[in-house]
Amino acid sequence: MMNLPIPQLTIRLYGDPCLRAKCEPVEEIGIVEKLLVEAMIDTMDRHKGIGLAAPQVGVNKRILVADIGDGPVAMINPVIKEIKGEAVMEEGCLSIPEVNVNVTRPAVIRVSYTDLNNRPRERKFKELMARVILHENDHLDGKLITDYATAEELKKYAEVLKKLEDLQQKKSG
């Protein structure tokens, strides 16, 4: 990787239309995509996250990064090939601060994706890493944790969600 400065990315918040868009596949992995991934990992780390998807930084591309402590994994055009088991866990999101929702997800997944060296990969992930990848992959399809929320959870967080939407309106308008 060239020794270029890492661009500072801004995390988009709940209410931003880019969080609801279905992302486009990446056609070619070049320096721009590699720099984006590096900046996404930096942004995820600065915000103490364990996953980040491109639309969360305003990029409509099928790219995600995840790191639960074993080193970052970058996935270009990920496709969930297989799912097994089921687990419920509370999830948060860098784009929806202060909101935590119980989400049921598969416990084990098999994912095919392209790595940053343009090589096709297929790997199995379980437990927390599987959950993070599924959460970030949801972002690539415009799905948020609030879509999994119960009516009770939505009511509990209504004020926070409204504040985030208002903040987003001010930023874009």
Which are the catalytic amino acids?
A: 136
Measure Cα distances from 32 to 7, 29, 157 in Å: 11, 8, 37
Pairing label, strands 87-91, 101-105: antiparallel
Token pair 């020794």: residue: 3
Instruction: Quote the tokens at residue 131.
Output: 């959950």
Instruction: Quote the tokens at residue 16.
Output: 């931003």
